[in-house]
Structure 1
């Protein structure tokens, strides 16, 4: 049965990709609440949209079909009952304690056309937008007396579509995010993969109802047989146990999961900030992991029971062994310069999106790393990134492949 998904590598020619064009959620960022919303800075929306449009156009020019998160969600609202359930679940997970506010928001969203409603959910709702909804004096007084300006928090991290769910083979993992701030994002994926006619038949490798966190930036599909997952600040080992068990026992191709133990810090937020695949035997890397790394190899034995062994060594040796390569080239961010590497790692210099073997999309600002890629024979497509990079994510973070050709 057609699942609408095919993703068996990081480098197979990209045919269809999911993006989210930044919207009003970025204009609901405030300095006082940046940490709460996982941002370090406030992008200028109009310029961020221009840059994101350039990203989408770059992909289209290379033959990639671009679809947008909002449209997939709208196409998933297949009945009045599904729409009502979507609103109720979204508000249930919003963290709002006051029932009166929930009721006002339900009416507010319920009166909107589908596209406008989904955009408003993503952008968040200011208390001032609800004042016209209430017919009670208390609605005005409570808004005036509480300093917090939002009835519903914005979802500014949404343009990083890599994280809330991941496509693996012909199936999908829908994630429980590390922070409550981002967990509502995965509800969009739940409705897409339960109700959108094009995707509702995709096998489910992991579900957002699990108890421990898993994020898409920690998942790299290295080959049709090998899946890599980062044990990171935002992905827990219990989650990897569950994902590995399901993928290895139910998928048709995957034979092993490599669980990479990476530092639990914001600068190493996900595995794709540590390394990304740019060709069959070439990888960009964070220069701080060039010496040694620990990986746990997870496989099923002849009785279909999980067996795990630990390997410690150089990243290139581990990749050579498990991808059965004669040679591996690691391309360090910033050409190994301490200063250039730190600066360009801050703007995700090693976070690249491969659109074909040896062909990648990169941020123009990371020119030192980009020069290294070209010297290694990689064809690069540069996109503007002055505002997008303020969210601390690169081209891979901003894209969720739905269909790749086999490598």
Structure 2
């Protein structure tokens, strides 16, 4: 592999993928604070880990190299200076009101000698109960005196698709919708700056986590070596898409068009990939509820750093066929077009598939109606259980970040 990142499609044969195995951060979820942490329910950790291990095993049996975010971050802390810098940055973004408390936690984290253990602890969060000497000093702390955490856990991290996104030979290091998830992007920063796999390899950055407008990886899809699709959603705003497009065109990564899909700001849709994924050269999964009101805008370079933005006045099928240079495309509808099945199975990520080769995908086994529709369309399915993983509202694509895909030959 000449370059550490190579992702010029959603469907090229998957060679390397990054996952995060759910950890103790899920055991720090509490019913009263689920909304704050962007969860609707509390997964059973032991079962969630079994399901996730099964997911990784399916990938490995297909010849995919599986690497774990937590290992990559630990391996990025290559010397004491970087280690202290990481701890300081983590604490500066943790929302701690008291300087004294921050110093005590720094002592606690610095005392953890094993790098992987340190990373796991930063992901799990820190309860007030872990610091018996914890004293409320700041007004912020006093206003949250009943809140059980000094530092929130990061339970969404097993959805590795979101905090950064790979495209071409580059990476979009994202600015997240919520403060809780914004801290996740610290891990991406250290991986791409310091991990031996990426450091010094000139990985282009097409978005920066310090930008002020939000964008998330579930909204970023690579349709071809020429075309990206980005969702305008609950988690990604229009200004971010324009910034991303300008950066991509200026850095000449090979893409010449960004299609912006306005799917609306709804929790049930959340990201573009929860309602739309590419599974073959000419096949897509889609949630039928977005089709009627879906607006699509094409963004192309006009020259001198300017963008040409055009509202596409056509059906989604025709727009996709036009920009992918195909005669036609097939939209395979979640729930096989039945409104009740579609709503239920989209909630359980029936439209969120991970393509591991053209026409071959990984899906949750629970979405039986959608899965039968995919099989009828000639798609090869690899089933994984997900009764606990799905409680975080994400499917196989959400839980995976491709680092390397083979280029398509046609």
TM score, norm. by length of structure 1: 0.96
Q: Distance in 1 between matches of 2:152 and 2:58?
A: 32
1:255 corresponds to 2:260? no
Tell whether the 8 Å contact from 1:175 to 1:208 is kept in structure 2 after alignment.
Answer: yes
Aligned to 1:157: 156
How far 1:249 moved relative to its partner?
1.9
3-state secondary structure, aligned to 2:249 = helix
Aligned to 1:198: 197
3-state secondary structure, aligned to 2:193 = helix
Aligned to 1:332: 333
Aligned to 2:310: 309
Deviates more, 1:300-309 or 1:83-92: 300-309
Q: Distance in 1 between matches of 2:182 and 2:352?
A: 23
Aligned to 1:124: 125
Q: Distance in 2 between matches of 1:128 and 1:221?
A: 45
Q: Distance in 2 between matches of 1:345 and 1:394?
A: 10
Q: Distance in 2 between matches of 1:103 and 1:78?
A: 23
Aligned to 1:398: 399
Aligned to 2:237: 236
Q: Distance in 2 between matches of 1:268 and 1:313?
A: 22
3-state secondary structure, aligned to 1:266 = coil
Q: Distance in 1 between matches of 2:388 and 2:320?
A: 34
Q: CA RMSD in A?
A: 1.7
Q: Deviations over 1:155-211 (max 9, x none)?
A: 000000000000000000101101111100000001111111211331100000101
Where does 1:267-346 land on structure 2 (aligned, <5 Å)? 267-291=268-292, 293-301=294-302, 303=304, 305-346=306-347
How far 1:310 moved relative to its partner?
1.0
Aligned to 1:90: 90
**Count of paired positions:** 401
TM score, norm. by length of structure 2: 0.95
1:178 corresponds to 2:164? no
Q: Distance in 2 between matches of 1:354 and 1:346?
A: 20
- Structure 2 gap segments, 5+ residues each: none
Deviates more, 1:284-293 or 1:274-283: 284-293
Aligned to 2:388: 387
Aligned to 1:366: 367
- Structure 1 gap segments, 5+ residues each: none
How far 1:293 moved relative to its partner?
2.5
Q: Distance in 1 between matches of 2:212 and 2:300?
A: 23
How far 1:294 moved relative to its partner?
1.6
Where does 1:212-223 land on structure 2 (aligned, <5 Å)? 212-223=213-224
Tell whether the 8 Å contact from 1:294 to 1:310 is kept in structure 2 after alignment.
Answer: yes
Deviates more, 1:35-44 or 1:90-99: 90-99
